[in-house]
């Protein structure tokens, strides 16, 4: 389990999965035949879709739908489908014979529903053939369906989508089992961005002719647009079972695996992609994402460096490298990358990331400014409100912090960290009832949340509910054994209940954890210093106890917690530790000063 999040500690680099469109399909070197538009053959096409920012959160989707007719010469233009060429294969059931001039005349009029009074048979006719002239060959429903498919294809090429849809619809009525007619309907639906209808049409096309692997690929692309990544994986797997030599499908499979957070398996597709296309920067970027999410930060940084070397001005790559540098603790390097990203393409997610870097560097005013810019670009960007709340908390402005946490929870009622932070605000405002309510909400969302159990224990202890406090502190220790404040608090409660052996055991275990360097002072708040001070007093170390309690008083004052500040001063007085002044060493020891 990751280290519990402390109200006073810096927010570490987020490793949450990315739910937005991470990147589009890249364009590897043209070692295969390049077809204009969206390829109709799996074997002779290359990825040509767009690249979108890899770390925009699910709550910060800012890109507007792009026109499906956008020129494919721009590889970063859109993640919507580019113009597809007409499928070149014929369904297995189709005949290839030439139709008579009478058939040409029959479909030369505008594509509308065939009329019963015409000499051409209608879909409702019980006869499968009809004679136009005594000497003419019979006209079958299949012939007419194919002819309307040809008309639909020409209308689609001319971007006359209404006429194309009408023609394909008539073709389906003549022959409901004609796969190419359903695939034509699917293409028309995608051009007008009706992707749900496109999926239905692709399903019908596959049902009519399940041997056409191209249909599975086109359906996978449509599911990618709709973010149905497990369906994308299923279709890619179906194709790869027949042939692994499908770089386009292998790439799409890797993208979907990253989307569903299966980074280790995604590498199995990305590594051969990079070997085959070593000049493709997107391959390095995606592999860098996998390494970063798997905590292989040096490998991630090397991949992002390579992507930037191949394409220096791609803002997404700088954003990716900035996030990795941030996680490595290279805040200045991260700041440089985020500045480049914002210069090329200002986005809410990047401002939010830069705000966190400013916060880690102690420049909280700059952090607030970046949060405001992120919110201005996307008023529903959840993490920007949450991060601004953290910054206001560190500045001691609890009312503004509470407002941002409330906004975060309004946008995402299941935002655990916002509930935890709000519980601290209520605690510091001496509103134990609301603080406990937030803790209960968090426990309902995640039973393994350290801070919910810890805060509940502190409130129980201060409210006189000693046995409930022990239960909650024990749960917190079970979740995070190295967080010493819970042990100190439980020991104090045991001491108050007269169970001195258990109290001393907790005190000594907490000291041992600190001596081994498994707990950082940065992870402590006023309640932690308070508990340690009392424990040190019971261990017979009054000077160290006084220092810890005074640090707790400073923290309480820093976070505008007047009631707890007074509680600590009263404890210092009652224990006879009030003489003397706080030393400079102790003051420097406090991370909140």
Q: Pick from 203, 85, 104, 83: which is nearest to 148 by CA?
A: 104
Top-confidence residue, 368 or 74: 368
Q: Is 390 left (phi over 0), alpha (psi -120 to 50) or beta?
A: alpha
Query: Contact at 8 Å (CB) between 282 and 275?
Result: no
Q: Which of 330, 257, 321 is closest to 288 using CA atoms?
A: 321
CA 101, 103, 104, 106: dihedral to nearest 10 degrees? 130
Average per-residue pLDDT for the chain: 79
CATH 1.25.40.10 fits 436-589, yes or no: yes
Classify domain 101-211 by CATH architecture.
Answer: Alpha Horseshoe (1.25)
User: Alpha-carbon Rg of the chain, whole angstroms?
Assistant: 33
- Band (pLDDT 50/70/90 cuts) for residue 489 is very high
Boundaries of every domain in the chain: 101-211, 436-589
Q: Residue 515: its pLDDT value, please?
A: 85
Is pLDDT of 435 > 80? yes
Residues 58, 62, 66: CA angle, nearest 5 degrees: 115
Task: Answer whether residue 134 shows pLDDT above 50.
Answer: yes
User: Do the domains 436-589 and 101-211 match in fold?
Assistant: yes
What's the sign of the alpha-carbon dihedral 289, 290, 293, 296? negative
* Residues 560-577 pLDDT 10s: 999 999 999 999 999 998
What are the φ/ψ torsions at residue 402 (nearest 5 degrees)?
A: -60, -40
List the structure tokens of 26.
Answer: 């890249």
* pLDDT value at residue 64: 32
Q: What is the mean pLDDT of residues 96-113?
A: 37
pLDDT band at 459 (very low <50, low <70, confident <90, very high): very high
pLDDT in tens, 265-275: 999 999 999 99
pLDDT at 75: 28
Tell the burial category of 350 from Cβ atoms under 10 Å away from its Cβ (0-12, 13-18, 19+). buried
Region 509-537 average pLDDT: 84
pLDDT band at 517 (very low <50, low <70, confident <90, very high): confident
The per-residue pLDDT for 516 is 83
pLDDT for position 4: 35
> What angle (nearest 5°) sits at the alpha carbon of residue 292, between those of residues 288 and 294?
120
CA pair distance 123, 70, nearest whole angstrom = 37
| CB 114 within 8 Å of CB 123 | yes
Which candidate, 225, 280, 223, places its Cα nearest to that of 247? Answer: 280
pLDDT digit string, tens, across residues 410-421: 999 999 999 999
Count Cα neighbours of 574 within 13 Å in the Cβ-side half-sphere: 7
9/188: higher pLDDT = 188
**Mean pLDDT, residues 115-119:** 35
Q: What is the mean pLDDT of residues 362-378?
A: 96
Residues 56/352, Cβ–Cβ less than 8 Å? no
Phi, psi of 57 (to 5 degrees): -75, 165
- Structure-block tokens of residue 166: 């009408």
pLDDT at 483 over 70: yes
Supply φ then ψ for residue 587, to 5 degrees: -65, -40
Convert 12-69 into a string of H (helix), E (strand) and C (coil).
CCCCCCCCCCCCCCCCCCCCCCCCCCECCCCCCCCCCCCCCCCCCCHHHCCCCCCCCC
How high is the pLDDT of residue 360?
Answer: 92
> Band of the pLDDT at 486, cuts 50, 70, 90?
very high
Once rounded to an integer, what is the mean pLDDT over residues 120-133?
A: 43
Q: How confident is the model at residue 139 (pLDDT cuts 50, 70, 90)?
A: confident
């Amino acid at each position: 389990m990751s280290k519990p999040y402390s109200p006073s500690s810096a927010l570490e680099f987020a490793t949450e999965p990315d739910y937005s469109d991470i990147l589009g399909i890249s364009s590897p070197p043209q070692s295969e035949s390049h077809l204009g538009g969206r390829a109709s053959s799996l074997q002779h096409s290359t990825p040509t879709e767009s690249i979108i920012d890899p770390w925009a959160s699910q709550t910060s989707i800012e890109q507007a739908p792009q026109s499906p007719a956008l020129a494919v010469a721009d590889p970063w233009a859109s993640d919507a489908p580019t113009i597809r060429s007409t499928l070149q294969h014929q369904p297995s059931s189709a005949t290839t014979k030439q139709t008579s001039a009478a058939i040409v005349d029959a479909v030369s009029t505008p594509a509308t529903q065939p009329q019963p009074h015409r000499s051409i048979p209608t879909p409702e006719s019980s006869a499968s053939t009809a004679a136009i002239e005594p000497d003419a060959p019979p006209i079958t429903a299949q012939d007419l369906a194919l002819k309307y498919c040809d008309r639909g294809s020409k209308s689609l090429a001319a971007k006359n989508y209404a006429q194309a849809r009408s023609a394909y619809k008539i073709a389906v009525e003549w022959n409901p089992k004609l796969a190419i007619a359903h695939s034509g309907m699917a293409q028309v639906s995608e051009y007008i961005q009706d992707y749900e209808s496109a999926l239905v049409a692709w399903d019908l096309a596959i049902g009519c002719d399940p041997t056409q692997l191209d249909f599975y690929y086109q359906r996978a692309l449509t599911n990618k647009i709709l973010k149905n990544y497990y369906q994308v994986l299923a279709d890619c797997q179906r194709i790869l079972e027949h042939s692994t030599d499908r770089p386009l499908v292998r790439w799409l499979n890797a993208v979907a695996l990253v989307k569903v957070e299966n980074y280790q398996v995604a590498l199995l597709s990305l590594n051969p992609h990079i070997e085959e296309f070593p000049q493709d920067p997107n391959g390095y970027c995606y592999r860098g994402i996998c390494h970063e999410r798997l905590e292989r930060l040096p490998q991630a940084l090397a991949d992002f460096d390579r992507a930037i070397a191949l394409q220096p001005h791609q803002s997404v790559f700088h954003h990716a490298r900035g996030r990795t540098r941030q996680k490595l603790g290279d805040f200045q390097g991260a700041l440089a990358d985020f500045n480049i990203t914002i210069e090329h393409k200002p986005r809410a997610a990047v401002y939010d990331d830069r705000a966190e870097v400013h916060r880690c560097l102690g420049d909280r005013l700059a952090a607030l400014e970046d949060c405001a810019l992120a919110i201005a670009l996307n008023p529903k960007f959840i993490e920007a409100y949450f991060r601004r709340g953290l910054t206001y908390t560190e500045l001691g402005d609890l009312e503004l912090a509470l407002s941002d946490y409330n906004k975060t929870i309004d946008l995402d009622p299941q935002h655990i960290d916002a509930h935890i932070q709000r519980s601290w605000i209520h605690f510091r405002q001496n509103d134990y009832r609301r603080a406990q309510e937030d803790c209960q909400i968090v426990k309902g969302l995640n039973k393994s949340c350290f801070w919910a159990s810890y805060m509940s224990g502190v409130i129980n202890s201060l409210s006189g509910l000693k046995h409930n406090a022990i239960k909650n502190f024990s749960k917190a220790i079970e979740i995070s054994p190295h967080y010493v404040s819970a042990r100190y608090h439980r020991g104090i409660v045991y001491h108050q209940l007269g169970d001195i052996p258990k109290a001393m055991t907790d005190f000594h275990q907490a000291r041992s954890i600190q001596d081994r360097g498994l707990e950082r002072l940065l992870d402590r708040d006023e309640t932690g210093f308070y508990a340690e001070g009392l424990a040190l007093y019971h261990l017979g170390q009054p000077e160290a106890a006084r220092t810890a309690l005074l640090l707790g008083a400073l923290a309480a004052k820093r976070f505008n917690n007047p009631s707890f500040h007074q509680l600590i001063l009263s404890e210092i007085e009652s224990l006879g530790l009030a003489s003397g002044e706080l030393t400079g060493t102790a003051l420097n020891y406090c991370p909140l000063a």
